[in-house]
Amino acid sequence: MKYPCLVPKSLCKVPIEVHLTGEGITEDGEPERTLDLSLLCNFQDSVKTIFTEEKKLVECTGTAYFPGDIAENFPSLSGGTVTVFSEEREIVHGMKARNPDGTVNYCKLEVK
């Protein structure tokens, strides 16, 4: 059975550079860069304002949606960075949304 793609390519218009890192580290103690991609995504920004006693903190976050599997050789999207709208952001959460048959329907990267 063919499952419908929940993130259609026609809605992915934002250029994004994705730099995924693996679980291991290099000899220098840095995360090893495993995959560099130039893709189009559907990107959604959100902003949260937190008031503390000393100051006001504004936290910008965003979510990038991709149709299909962006990293077929990796079982999970563990971390890295993205460059979107000329700004580099850290990946804090990655997800591969799967169909009932185990294939990947779409990928989601949450960044801050």
Residues 6-20: tens digit of each pLDDT = 999 999 999 999 999
* Of 81, 77, 73, the residue nearest 22 (C-alpha): 77
Rounded distance, CA 84 to CA 18, Å?
A: 9
Residues 6+ apart with CB under 8 A from 75: none
Tens of pLDDT, residues 31-58 = 776 899 999 999 999 988 888 777 877 7
Q: Are 98 and 106 in contact (CB under 8 A)?
A: no
Tens of pLDDT, residues 53-73 = 778 777 879 999 999 999 998
Please state the rounded mean pLDDT for residues 107-111: 96
Q: Are 31 and 79 in contact (CB under 8 A)?
A: yes
Residue 27: the pLDDT is 76
